[in-house]
Chains A and B, each alone.
Chain A
Amino acid sequence: MTGAPEPTAVTTGTLRALRTPRWFTGRSELIVVAGVLALAVGMTIGIVTMQVPDGTAFPGPQFFPIIVAAFLYAVGLALGISVLVSPRRAHVADDPTELSTDMLEDLGGLDATSEIRVVAPETLAAAHGATAPGGLDVKTVLITVGALVAFILALPVLGWLLSAAALFWVLAWAFGSARPLLDIGIAVIVSSFVQLAFGVGLGLSLPAGILEGAFPWIS
Chain B
Amino acid sequence: MDQLSHLAEGFAVAFTAQNLLFLVIGAVLGTAVGVLPGLGSAMAVALLLPVTFSLDPTGAFIMFASIYFGGLFGDSTSGILLNTPGNSSAIATTFEGHRMARNGYAAKALGTSAIGAFLGGFIACVLVVFFAPYIVELAKVFGPAEYFALAVFAFVAISAVVADSIVRGLVALGLGFALALVGIDGMSGAERFTLGTPVLFDGISIIVITVGLLAIGEVIHVASHIRRGRPEDSIISPKGSPFLSLADWRKVILPYLRGTAFGVPFGAIPVGGSEVPTFLAYGTEKRLAKRRGDTEFGTTGSIRGVAAPEAAGNATAGSAMGALLGLGLPTSATAAMMIAAFQQYGMQPGPLLFERSADLVWPLLASLFLGLVILLIINLPFAAVWAKLLLIPRHYLYATITVLSVLGVYAIGSRTVDLWMALGIGIIGFGMRHFSIPLAPVLIAAILGPMAETQLRRALAVSEGDPGILVASPLTIVLYVILAAIVAFSGLQHLRHARRDRTATSRSVRVGAGR
Q: Footprint of B on A, CB under 8 Å?
A: 1-4, 13-15, 29, 31-32, 35-36, 39, 42-43, 46, 50-53, 56-65, 68, 71-72, 75-76, 78-79, 82, 89-110, 114-116, 118-122, 124-125, 128, 130-131, 135-138, 140-141, 143-145, 148-149, 151-152, 155-156, 164, 167-169, 171-177, 186-187, 190-191, 194, 198, 202-207
Contact = CB atoms under 8 A, between A and B. Distances in A.
A82 B496 CA distance: 17
Interface in B82-112: 83-85, 88, 91-92, 94-95, 98-99
A141 B423 CA distance: 13
B95 A100 contact: no
Contact of A109 (B224, B226, B283, B438): B283
Given A53-B189, A108-B92, A99 B275 contact: yes
B403 A95 contact: no
A203 B411 CA distance: 10
B416 A174 contact: no
A202 B187 CA distance: 35
Contacts, number: 334
Given A79-B167, A152-B423, A65 B223 contact: no
Contacts of A68: 174, 177-178, 181
A196 to B, nearest CB: 12
Contacts of B461: 57-59
Nearest to B502: A3
B387 interface: no
B508 interface: yes
A87 B165 CA distance: 13
A145 B403 contact: no
A118 B164 contact: no
Contacts of B227: 137, 140, 175-176
Contacts of B164: 96-102
A118 B500 contact: no
A140 B83 contact: no
Given A98-B439, A99-B272, A137-B227, A175 B170 contact: no
A125 B230 contact: yes
Contacts of A173: 395
29 contacts: A13-B95, A14-B95, A50-B191, A53-B189, A58-B464, A65-B193, A68-B177, A71-B177, A72-B178, A75-B173, A79-B168, A94-B37, A97-B436, A97-B437, A98-B275, A99-B163, A102-B164, A103-B276, A103-B490, A106-B493, A108-B282, A116-B99, A118-B79, A122-B225, A144-B219, A148-B426, A152-B406, A169-B399, A171-B398
B62 interface: no
B359 interface: no
B287 interface: yes
Contacts of A168: 399-400, 402-403
A96 B91 contact: yes
Contact of B433 (A91, A100, A204): A91
B91 A100 contact: no
A157 B252 CA distance: 60
Contact of B167 (A82, A148, A175, A194): A82
Given A64-B181, A109-B287, 11 more contacts: A2-B504, A108-B283, A114-B298, A118-B95, A120-B84, A140-B227, A141-B220, A164-B406, A171-B399, A171-B402, A206-B410
Interface stretch (B11-19, B240-248, B315-323, B452-460): B452-460
